[in-house]
Amino acid sequence: MLFGIMFACWRFLQIVTLIPIMGMLAWFVNIHLEVNVMTPTHILVMFIVSVLALAWAVFTLFSYHRSSANAKFVGLIDLGFVGALIAGVYYLRFIASADCASIQPGSTVAIDLGIVGSASFTGFDVSFNKSCSMLKACFALGIMNIVFFFVTSIMAWIHGDHAVKSEKRYVETRRRSHSRGHSHSRHRSHSGQRHGSRRSSHSHHRAYV
């Protein structure tokens, strides 16, 4: 029960953080398709990985009972997505040092202070590069999902070991109970044969008296 709650929470975090990655990168892919230009590798790799990871996270979240029964397989696939996400983040590594915001001096504003005089202030205009900001957000969310999928991989692998051990205990218990029942039934059959032979000897003795 505890594994199910923890597993579902981590899966929910993965879904919540993978949806923005897929959405923002789909916007880039759509732009390149409209102008009939090949999508850059750093966008395409992360987009494909995020789509597959999102589909896997949703599938394993809504089919928890099947995922729990095949916990080691789920852990292995999650570990594979860790490697795929590392590759996607590696292709986007150039965006980590990019400056997505620019600050420039704005217009001068004069303020009348009455008899004291007047003062002038120069403001600042802050502009953000939308494409740069979106790619940097995808880069950060990708790093977060590397950690998330690694955690769920370890959880699933540990749960799989416990499931295998409990299944072995269950099989051994059933085998012992079956062997005890079989020996008990053999003992009853032998005792029944002895009682039957005694009754037949008594009946035979009475017939000849």
194 within some domain: no
124 within some domain: no
Tell me what pLDDT residue 157 has: 85
CA-CA distances (angstroms) from residue 160 to 6, 141, 153, 156, 167?
15, 28, 10, 6, 10
Q: Are 125 and 108 in contact (CB under 8 A)?
A: no
66 within some domain: yes
| Predicted TM-score of the model (pTM) | 0.67
Q: Are 4 and 74 in contact (CB under 8 A)?
A: no
69 within some domain: yes
10 within some domain: yes
172 within some domain: no
**Mean per-residue pLDDT pooled into runs of 10, the chain (209 residues):** 80 96 95 91 95 95 73 91 96 89 62 56 65 93 96 85 46 55 52 49 40
**Rounded CA separation 139/137 (Å):** 5
Which amino acid is residue 166, in one-letter code?
Answer: S
CA-CA distances (angstroms) from residue 37 to 71, 129, 187?
42, 21, 83
Q: Are 95 and 135 in contact (CB under 8 A)?
A: yes
Q: For strand 101-112 and strand 118-128, is the pairing parallel, antiparallel, or unpaired? A: antiparallel
The tokens of 196 are what? 């039957």
Q: Are 19 and 137 in contact (CB under 8 A)?
A: no
Domain range for 79: 2-97+135-163
Tell me what pLDDT residue 171 has: 42
Tell me what pLDDT residue 206 has: 40
17 within some domain: yes
Tell me what pLDDT residue 6 has: 86
The tokens of 7 are what? 């597993």
Strand, helix or coil for residue 106: strand
Distance of alpha carbon 112 from the chain centroid: 61
Domain count, the chain: 1
